[in-house]
Structure 1
Amino acid sequence: MHDSPRPRARFRALVSAACCAVLGAGPLAGAGTATAEPAAQPAVKAGSKVVGYFTEWGTYDRKYYVKNIETSGSAARLTHINYAFGNVTGGKCAMGDSYAATERTYTAAESVDGVADTWDQPLRGNFNQLRELKKKHPGLKVIWSFGGWTWSSGFGEAAKNPAAFAQSCYDLVENSKWADVFDGIDIDWEYPNACGNTCDTSGRAAFKNLMSALRAKFGSGNLVTAAITADATPGGKIDAADYGGAAQYVNWYNPMTYDYFGAWAATGPTAPHSALNSYSGIPQAGYYTSATIAKLKGLGIPASKLLLGLGFYGRGWTGVTQSAPGGTATGPAAGTYEAGFEDYKVLKAKCPATGTVGGTAYAKCGNNWWSYDTPSTIATKMAYKNQQGLGGTFFWELSGDTTGGELIKAIN
């Protein structure tokens, strides 16, 4: 699950503690066409895509700026950045926080290029910082992601007129003030025709129609991608939308193969939120990465259009006495920004891994129990990614890594 920002008074890059991401992650007449199609994007070697989410609101409480992507060494290892999030409201794409995106004045110390913004420059904020980052890394692509957990409720209205939605998105992404910043659009609808963020009942074809309209409008020269559910259970959320039929319109999918389990089940049982494989005692059959990938490939989606999802964070419980998975708990463990959630950069020191299960790590410290990926378990997942012929890797999100980019180095 990808959380969108709350109203501007409170920006947080976390999920609702009440819900679990995975439990929610034909030709269209009248679809518009781009009047001037850009040149085709340079190809990225199959299997080598590395896509990291950058959160618009992370510049507030997290103090994580675009500059940090550069200083951590992450920029040199990324092929794409997903900028999260734009809003979906009134059946249209809309700005998320315009101040953070285009207006905030950056000091020299905060800027990618070491030069302070001026009050009269045409574009400031995150967008200008991303422009500066792309100048340093000409091969780096930036995709504007719309939706997320909180802002997915608008997709039901958008699905009523996909062509109009696509036109609004194109007009916003390709705005002349920042058209050079973005190389395409990402849709994070959680979840089509299923009770996720809201109980959307727009029909199984709605997602396919929406992606068809976006591809028609953005043309072949722009990237069109989507973050999708990882719920591979029979009759689950993958089955609720025509992801197989829509695959022809996307460059790739980002199946959110994390948040399978978490402290929204307050008393447990404890379980890793991003296991690669099943294990004895897993609380829910099919709640692991390889099951999700197998299900999606079974729909006819090419492996090259599937990226392996990683969480640069952990999920945890407190009141736990058992070290191995499957123990009972009394509630979510304390976290910096939200109970039951903590960045990897904090957990590696605060609660180091004490074991592995299902291809991921877990940690028992005091009466707290956490699960998260480490450089070692990411290496295991990369071997799986290569064996499966997947198109690459994506992760949520950049600020969870160490200042030296420990996890993204493990990807590469």
Structure 2
Amino acid sequence: MSRPSQHHRQRRVTLAAAAVLSLAIAPVAAASPALANPGTATASAATAAANANDSNGKVSVGYFTQWGIYSGFYEKNLVTSGAVKKLTEIDYAFSDIAPDGTCASADSWADWQKPVAAADSVDGTADTGAQAIAGNFNQLRELKKAYPNLKIVMSIGGWSESTNFSAAAATPQSRAKFAQSCIDMYIKGNLPGVAPGAAAGIFDGVAIDWEYPDEVGNGNPHGPQDTHDFTLLLQELRNQLDAAGRAAGRRYLLTADMPAGPENASHIEVGPVSRIVDWMNVMTFDFHGTWETTGPTNFQSNLFPSPFDPAPRATPSDPYPVNGEISTLQVVADYLRQGASPNKIAISVPFYAHGWTGVAPGPNGDGLYQPATGVATDIEYNQVAAEPGTVHHDPITGAAYKYDPASKTFWTYDDPQSIQEKVLFIKALGLRGDMTWSLDGDTADGQLVNAFGFGK
């Protein structure tokens, strides 16, 4: 099958966006006189979404890992690759939560203590012992000075640091204590062991990455109370950030990283959450991967569903089948149905690949939807791009994948072409933008960020 032209991709994405809006509006149409005409409602919703984005602006959020500093990935890499010009925001991963429910550094050496040499520094000068802070925090400050429109946000939690979220969100007192500590540390810049306010002005807000409310995640304590407590925690943060913003004469950002899986998302009050945060970064990746140890091979971040997908479909008796059929389109439609507006949704792009081994070519010779005998170690995009094999672009799902018949290895990932189709989808539906995990997976010349970035 020949590769779809840009015109055909644009038309397909536009039609899909209209279908998503129709699905999202349908449940409330009967109850709303303004939505009595489905055709008018879809057009009105699309126009409203576009207008909202015009006023709020598209975002391209790149995750910068705290630990990258140990493997030679510094903030300066974003300058040399040109990626920083395509980003509107950097989310720094991660802040921990201490057992007492307060924000705490997961690695203070990487955050503000490790000296950075001149060759690795954004401004070309080496850190000295006279500085109050060094490490990543000082490099983020230098990056922000060089690119004043760039926002820097502290992300709290993540897969490994979400252990104490449930307790921190449990009561009005614990929520207030958590929010106050995070604002004191990252907004007011009061880091332990250094002069008060030494880190002030670096961070423009916080992102909450609780993985996941009322779900075990990485072996985390959890319970049904988490669902509403998550909403209340965000509201407390919003209130305290707004108070800090009034005192400083500015507005601080609050975002949340949200699950794509329908089971995890079902434990979140999507509508209320979307009205509290500036927007939600919905983690539209890891749909399929190496936890499915024998396959079948499938896509980890496909834009559209496919009738050929062998994964189980949702049924009334099993609405959340394990490793079931899923796509970015379906995830966005689900969030819209639950009350989120398009301009509160940013979709996510993986800068890494999942892989399977022992994969037969199958009837089309490309290894797609075939069983596997084992799994490959996850690798970054800059590594999978150099792996042997043929790159394929599925014309149905919009997904990229690579198959090597010699080693019988199958990789699922995003590349510039599949990302460009997602950008078309974002624009057609009036979504807020995109987010990626993580920037160190890109090539030295920033191929992926250049494909997905809305920065100027």
TM-score relative to the length of structure 2: 0.77
RMSD after superposition: 1.5
Give yes or no for the alignment of 1:310 onto 2:349.
yes
Give yes or no for the alignment of 1:343 onto 2:412.
no
1:166-204 per-residue CA deviation (whole Å, 9 max, x = no partner) reads 111111112211121100000000000123222510332
Offset, 1:351: 3.8
State how many pairs are aligned. 360
* Secondary structure of residue in 1 paired with 2:226: coil
Q: Distance in 2 between matches of 1:44 and 1:80?
A: 17
Q: Which residue of 1 aligns with 2:5?
A: none
Q: Which residue of 1 aligns with 2:231?
A: 208
Offset, 1:246: 1.6
* Secondary structure of residue in 1 paired with 2:285: coil
Going from structure 1 to structure 2, the CA distance change for 1:52 and 1:282 (only over 3 Å counts) comes to farther
Q: Which residue of 2 aligns with 1:249?
A: 276
Offset, 1:354: 2.7
Give yes or no for the alignment of 1:294 onto 2:333.
yes
Gaps of 5+ in 2: 1-52, 190-196, 246-250, 314-324
Contact 1:312 1:407 (8 Å CA) reproduced: yes
Q: Distance in 1 between matches of 2:421 and 2:310?
A: 19
1:368-400 per-residue CA deviation (whole Å, 9 max, x = no partner) reads 110111111111111111111001111111011
Greater helix share, structure number: 2
Q: Which moved more, 1:381-390 or 1:170-179?
A: 170-179
Contact 2:359 2:367 (8 Å CA) reproduced: no
Question: Amino acid of the residue matched to residue 180 of structure 1?
Answer: G
Question: Amino acid of the residue matched to residue 445 of structure 2?
Answer: G
Q: Which residue of 2 aligns with 1:109?
A: 119
2:200 to 179, 182, 186: 179
Report sequence identity in percent: 38
Going from structure 1 to structure 2, the CA distance change for 1:228 and 1:284 (only over 3 Å counts) comes to farther
Alignment of 1:121-132 (within 5 A): 121-132=131-142
Q: Distance in 2 between matches of 1:112 and 1:353?
A: 37
Q: Distance in 2 between matches of 1:270 and 1:45?
A: 41
Q: Which residue of 2 aligns with 1:85?
A: 94
Give yes or no for the alignment of 1:379 onto 2:402.
no
Q: Which residue of 2 aligns with 1:15?
A: none
1:44-96 per-residue CA deviation (whole Å, 9 max, x = no partner) reads 86452110000001111x31101101111011111000000000122121111
2:256 to 210, 226, 248: 226
Give yes or no for the alignment of 1:195 onto 2:219.
no
Q: Distance in 1 between matches of 2:56 and 2:89?
A: 14
Structure number with bigger Rg: 2
Q: Distance in 2 between matches of 1:74 and 1:155?
A: 32
2:285 to 249, 253, 258: 258
1:402 to 443, 446, 455: 443
Going from structure 1 to structure 2, the CA distance change for 1:229 and 1:353 (only over 3 Å counts) comes to farther
Gaps of 5+ in 1: 1-42, 334-338
Contact 2:357 2:409 (8 Å CA) reproduced: yes
* Secondary structure of residue in 2 paired with 1:53: strand
Q: Distance in 1 between matches of 2:312 and 2:93?
A: 30
Stretches of 4+ aligned residues off by more than 3 angstroms: 43-47
Q: Which residue of 2 aligns with 1:370?
A: 411
* Secondary structure of residue in 2 paired with 1:75: helix
1:234-273 per-residue CA deviation (whole Å, 9 max, x = no partner) reads xx11111212212121001001000011111111111111
Q: Which residue of 2 aligns with 1:24?
A: none
* Secondary structure of residue in 2 paired with 1:268: coil
1:135 to 127, 139, 145: 145
Alignment of 1:349-360 (within 5 A): 349-351=386-388, 353-357=390-394, 358-360=397-399
* Secondary structure of residue in 2 paired with 1:317: strand
Contact 2:88 2:150 (8 Å CA) reproduced: yes
* Secondary structure of residue in 1 paired with 2:161: helix
Q: Which residue of 2 aligns with 1:388?
A: 429
Q: Distance in 2 between matches of 1:304 and 1:116?
A: 41
Alignment of 1:30-41 (within 5 A): none
Q: Distance in 2 between matches of 1:396 and 1:166?
A: 25
Q: Distance in 2 between matches of 1:282 and 1:49?
A: 34
* Secondary structure of residue in 2 paired with 1:204: helix
Q: Distance in 2 between matches of 1:295 and 1:103?
A: 43
Offset, 1:228: 0.8
1:90-141 per-residue CA deviation (whole Å, 9 max, x = no partner) reads 2121111000010111111010111111112111000000111111101000
Q: Which residue of 2 aligns with 1:268?
A: 295
1:249-298 per-residue CA deviation (whole Å, 9 max, x = no partner) reads 10010010000111111111111111111111241444211111111111
